[in-house]
């Protein structure tokens, strides 16, 4: 049987639910890691998947109408070659190249004193040139990972396996306000292992609509549907995002403004039973595309290790009645442009309103316009009767513009963050807020104001009161141990008359701010929360150590799969969108080929943003990067050309289009009369994207087959022309030129 037919059958079985890794109870491993999911195969043969759940009528091991595909079984003749292995924060990974004739791989991990435990199937993936497996939910220690090739019959060839030893896993930093009162947000214990009885749900582009989990004894289907049902549930559950999940992949969204919603049933503490939820990405490429998250009336929720691209309004909106939320190790990029001038990069990246006792740490904000708003009203109540208490530590504000954070009223600890080339300001306080700004590293710019208090100090030093920052009454900042590299302006106390300072610069960490220091507007004092006897325990790095740790650990594992090198000389003072970065974010697509030996399907990986009102159809096409205004050469790192009706007659120079546009979608119909030519002035990799997967299209007269994403890439030499004509009937949606 041909490999193409095998892939087609595998995709069919996946669509029918054979590959549904959802609603499974965590089984504690001998080391206590608790991250191995026990899956029952009713056919009795564990085979090479080791993770298929029982789906009536589709189980390949049972008596059904659908039989498993017959795979040509050649003997394995070469060993697995491990090319990289490393430990990270409560996780470890291994990369390898293919063993000769291997159909797939089983991967096992063990601690220093334990036995080998098999990884869940979705944790093992294939990319274009390599394979990767990630073990997650590991407590700190030393581990080994073994990769065993599997033949076409599902039998392991142990003699061709390879093992990586001595992998060191380190713990996450669990500190700050989120962990007060003995709370541990999410589905994991303090040591990084799964909580007892935790369910593990694997969410991919192909399974987001069909994943299953049990909530209060009822089995439910669909990512958002499961979250909707947890309004009164404290059962620990983790959703593991593998690859990219786009807006159109979801069963539905319950927040028309943000996307996925996690919501409890009421603001009172007694009703705040929606808890012990973790949403986490796997490896370096776990990503959500085209949506963000709204969290409301929840307690003990954790978001970690995934990227957010092309989000709708806010990337993360913590809005009303939350407590003990932990958001960490996220990569947050551009969102959809809003109606206001300062929303060109999206609205808030991670905004917190009416949320108490929470920690935001090790997040990487990539050129965010407005990074972290804290509070949006005249009174901030947590829903439990107290003032808001938040911790921001080890975040990387990477060429972001403002709000790092921007604080109303609350009590906030801002420590060990890296302020890297910010164009406007760092920490800003208003309305009587108290902020302890400790041991942060500022790589400042000529324009940056490291710390601002409204209507005093630097805020009014260069012009009209309120012009630079805010017209609200001021707040108080205590500063200690911060390091500055570059130009900056910081007005500190000169005498006990404190009506025109940015902050009180303490001589020691434990020094209290005298009550004689008050805000110029509002007359409020610093509340000295950081020297109170009930302040939480933490371990602060020096500013220089913090910079190094942030650069190493902020964002996803290994820094994520979407990286950008900022030109400091150009971008430090720039608050506008970077067009090349915007194009990379808009055109972001996954690179994973197989997840658990199943071909990736269900998501094109392109821009799914721009949709509101609960529409899960995928939204509009976002920003057109292909030249809808016509003219100009095809240039830049990545250029996208959309073949939509609104572009008819005004494609960029070098592109000609003949054909009809399909009614309803307005994409170019591939008919006998359709002809698209692309002439390039330099060697260019052109990716053709059509509406259907695994179909034929003709490139320069040669029939080629599109992949599972409906794409095919061809390199065209400088001065040559690519001609695109009909193969099968479908629509041509866009091309990417790189």
Average pLDDT score over residue span 678-684? 83
More confidently predicted of 618 and 680: 680
Contacts of residue 34, defined as CB under 8 A and 6 or more positions apart, other chains included, come to: 26, 27, 28, 137, 189, 193, 194, 195, 196, 198
Residue 26 has pLDDT above 60, yes or no: no
CA distance 26 to 238: 10
Beta-carbon contacts of residue 147 (< 8 Å; ≥ 6 apart) = 80, 82, 94, 96, 105, 106, 107, 131, 133, 161, 162, 163
Rounded-to-integer distance, Cα 703 and Cα 695, Å: 10
pLDDT tens-place string over residues 228-268: 999 889 999 999 999 999 999 999 999 999 999 999 887 65
% of the chain beyond a pLDDT of 90? 59
User: Diameter of the chain by CA atoms?
Assistant: 85
pLDDT at 268: 54
What is the structure's pLDDT at 298?
Answer: 93
Report the pLDDT value the prediction gives residue 235, as an integer from 0 to 100: 95
The bridge status of strand 406-408 relative to strand 675-679 is unpaired
Tens of pLDDT, residue by residue over 57-76, are: 322 233 333 344 445 678 89
With beta carbons less than 8 A apart as the criterion, state whether 117 and 79 touch. Answer: no
Q: What is the mean pLDDT of the chain?
A: 82
In this prediction, residue 648 carries a pLDDT of: 77
pLDDT of residue 730: 87
Q: What is the pLDDT of residue 49?
A: 34
**Which pLDDT belongs to residue 673?**
81
How many whole angstroms separate alpha carbon 418 and alpha carbon 100?
46
pLDDT over threshold 80, residue 463:
no
Domain spans of the chain? 3-18+31-169, 639-737
Q: How far apart are CA 429 and CA 670, in angstroms?
A: 57
User: Where does the pLDDT of residue 29 fall: very low under 50, low under 70, confident under 90, or very high at 90 and above?
Assistant: very low
DSSP-derived pairing of the beta strands 91-97 and 350-356: unpaired
Range of lowest pLDDT (18-32, 133-147, 155-169, 507-521): 18-32
The architecture that CATH gives domain 3-18+31-169 is Sandwich (2.60)
Confidence of residue 736 (pLDDT cuts 50, 70, 90): confident
- Band the pLDDT of 528: cuts 50, 70, 90: very high
The answer to whether the CB of 138 falls within 8 A of the CB of 90 is yes
**Cα–Cα separations (whole angstroms), residue 208 to 221, 233, 558:** 9, 21, 25
What's the pLDDT score for residue 16?
Answer: 37
Residues 6+ apart with CB under 8 A from 680: 634, 654, 686, 716, 717, 718, 719, 720, 721, 722, 737
Backbone φ, ψ for residue 147 (5° rounding): -110, 120
pLDDT digits (tens, 9 = 90+) for 482-508: 999 877 777 887 655 556 889 999 999
Q: Among 452-456, 618-622, 651-655, which is the least confidently predicted range?
A: 618-622
The pLDDT, as a whole number, for residue 607 is 30
Buried b (16+ CB within 10 A) or exposed e, 395-411: bbbbbbbbbbbbbbbbb
User: What is the dotted CATH code of the domain comprising 639-737?
Assistant: 2.60.120.1360
Q: Secondary structure of 122-169 in the HEC alphabet?
A: HHEEECCCCEEEEEECCCCEEEEEEEEEECCCCCECHHHCEEEEEEEE
Q: Long-range contacts made by residues 546-549, C-beta under 8 angstroms, separation at least 24?
A: 546/394, 546/415, 546/416, 546/417, 546/418, 546/439, 546/440, 546/441, 547/418, 547/441, 547/483, 549/394, 549/416
Which sign, positive or negative, has the C-alpha torsion 409, 410, 413, 419?
negative
d(CA 562, CA 149): 30
d(CA 628, CA 428): 40
**Confidence band of 23 (pLDDT split at 50, 70, 90):** very low
**What's the pLDDT score for residue 273?**
72
Q: What is the pLDDT of residue 447?
A: 80
CB 119 within 8 A of CB 39: no
* In the predicted structure, residue 52 carries a pLDDT above the cut 70: no
- Model confidence over 583-616: pLDDT tens digits? 999 999 999 999 999 998 643 333 322 222 222 2
Give me the pLDDT at residue 54, please.
32
Within 13 Å and on the Cβ side, how many CA atoms surround 372? 28
* Ramachandran class of 386: left when φ > 0, alpha when ψ lies in -120 to 50, beta otherwise: beta
Domains 3-18+31-169 and 639-737 share a fold: no
The reported pLDDT for the residue numbered 461 is 78
pLDDT at 43: 29
pLDDT band at 471 (very low <50, low <70, confident <90, very high): confident
Is pLDDT at 290 greater than 80 in this prediction?
Answer: yes
* The pLDDT of residue 435: 97
- Buried b / exposed e along 663-696 (16+ C-beta atoms within 10 A): eeebbbbbeeebebebbbeeebebbbbbbebbbb
38 vs 706, more confident: 706
List pLDDT tens digits, range 172-201.
999 999 999 999 999 999 999 999 999 999
Residue 91 burial (C-beta neighbours within 10 Å; 0-12, 13-18, 19+): buried
| 262 burial level (CB within 10 Å; 0-12, 13-18, 19+) | buried
Q: Is there a contact between 278 and 323 (Cβ–Cβ < 8 Å)? A: no
**Which of 146-160, 362-376, 382-396, 664-678 holds the top average pLDDT?**
146-160
Determine the pLDDT at residue 496: 52
Complete DSSP assignment for 14-68: HHTTSS---SEEEE--TTS---EEP---TTS--TTT--PPP-TTT-TTSS-SSPP
Is the confidence at residue 315, as pLDDT, over 80?
Answer: yes
Share above pLDDT 70 across residues of the chain, in percent, rounded to a whole number: 80
pLDDT confidence bin for 544, thresholds 50/70/90: very high
Strand extents, DSSP E, 560-599? 594-595, 598-599
Range from 111-125, 451-465, 552-566 carrying the lowest mean pLDDT: 451-465
Average of per-residue pLDDT across 447-460: 89
């Amino acid at each position: 049987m041909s490999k193409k037919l095998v892939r087609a059958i595998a995709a069919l079985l996946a669509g029918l639910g054979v590959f549904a890794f959802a609603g499974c109870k965590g089984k504690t491993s001998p080391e206590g890691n608790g991250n191995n999911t026990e899956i029952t195969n009713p056919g009795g043969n564990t085979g090479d998947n080791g993770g298929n759940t029982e789906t009536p009528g589709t189980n390949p091991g049972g008596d059904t109408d659908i039989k498993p595909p017959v795979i040509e079984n050649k003997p394995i003749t070469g060993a697995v070659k491990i090319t990289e292995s490393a430990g990270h924060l409560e996780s470890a990974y291994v990369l390898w190249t293919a063993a000769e004739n291997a159909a797939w791989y089983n991967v096992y991990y063990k601690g220093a004193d334990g036995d080998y435990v098999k990884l869940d199937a979705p944790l093992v993936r294939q990319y274009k040139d390599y394979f990767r497996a990630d073990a997650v939910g590991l407590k700190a220690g030393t581990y080994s990972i073994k990769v065993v090739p599997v033949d076409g019959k599902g039998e392991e060839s142990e003699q061709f396996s390879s093992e990586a030893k001595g992998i060191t896993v380190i713990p996450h930093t669990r500190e700050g306000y989120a962990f007060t009162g003995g709370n541990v947000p999410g589905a994991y214990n303090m040591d990084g292992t799964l909580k007892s009885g935790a369910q593990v749900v694997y969410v991919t582009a192909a399974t987001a609509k069909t994943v299953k989990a049990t909530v209060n004894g009822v089995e439910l289907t669909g990512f958002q549907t499961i979250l909707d049902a947890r309004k009164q549930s404290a059962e620990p559950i983790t959703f593991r995002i593998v690859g990219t999940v786009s807006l159109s992949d979801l069963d539905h969204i319950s927040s028309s403004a943000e996307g996925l919603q996690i919501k409890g049933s009421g603001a009172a503490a007694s009703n705040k039973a929606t808890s012990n939820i973790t949403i986490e990405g796997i490896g370096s490429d776990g990503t959500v595309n085209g949506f963000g998250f709204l969290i409301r009336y929840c307690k003990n929720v954790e978001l970690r290790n995934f990227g957010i691209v092309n989000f709708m309004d806010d990337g993360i909106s913590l809005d009303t009645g939350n407590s003990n939320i932990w958001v960490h190790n996220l990569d947050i990029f551009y969102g959809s442009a809003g109606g206001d001038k300062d929303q060109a990069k999206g609205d808030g990246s991670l905004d917190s309103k009416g949320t108490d006792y929470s920690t935001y740490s090790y997040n990487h904000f990539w050129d965010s316009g407005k990074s972290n708003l804290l509070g949006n009203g005249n009174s901030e109540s947590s829903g439990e009767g107290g003032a808001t208490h938040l911790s921001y530590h080890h975040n990387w504000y990477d060429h972001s513009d403002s709000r790092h954070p921007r604080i109303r009223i609350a009590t906030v600890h801002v420590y060990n963050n890296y302020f890297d080339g910010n164009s406007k300001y760092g920490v800003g306080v208003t309305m009587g807020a108290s902020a302890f700004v400790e041991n942060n590293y500022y790589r400042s710019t000529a324009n940056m104001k490291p710390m601002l208090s409204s209507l005093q100090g630097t805020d009014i030093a260069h012009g009209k009161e309120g012009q630079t920052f805010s017209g609200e009454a001021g707040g108080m900042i205590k500063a200690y141990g911060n390091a500055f590299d570059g130009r900056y302006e910081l007005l500190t106390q000169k005498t006990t008359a404190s009506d025109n300072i940015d902050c009180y610069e303490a001589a020691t960490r434990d020094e209290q701010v005298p009550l004689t220091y008050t805000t110029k507007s509002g007359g409020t004092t610093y509340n000295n929360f950081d020297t109170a006897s009930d302040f939480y325990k933490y371990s602060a790095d020096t500013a220089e150590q913090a910079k190094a740790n942030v650069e190493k650990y902020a964002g996803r594992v290994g820094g994520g799969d979407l990286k950008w090198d900022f030109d400091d000389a150009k971008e430090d003072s720039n608050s506008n969108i970077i067009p090349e970065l915007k194009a990379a974010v808009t055109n972001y697509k996954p690179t994973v080929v197989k997840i658990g030996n199943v071909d990736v399907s269900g998501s094109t990986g392109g821009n799914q943003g721009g949709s509101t009102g609960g529409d899960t159809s995928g939204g509009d096409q976002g920003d057109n990067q292909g030249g809808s205004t016509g003219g100009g050469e095809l240039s830049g790192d990545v250029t996208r050309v959309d073949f939509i009706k609104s572009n008819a007659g005004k494609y960029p120079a070098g592109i000609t289009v003949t054909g009809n546009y399909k009614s309803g979608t307005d994409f170019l119909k591939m008919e006998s009369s359709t002809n698209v030519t692309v002439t390039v002035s330099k060697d260019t990799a052109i990716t053709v994207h059509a509406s259907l997967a695994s179909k034929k299209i003709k490139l320069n007269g040669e029939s080629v087959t599109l992949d599972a994403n409906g794409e095919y890439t061809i390199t065209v030499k400088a001065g040559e022309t690519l001609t695109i004509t009909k193969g099968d009937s479908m629509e041509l949606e866009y091309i990417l030129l790189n």
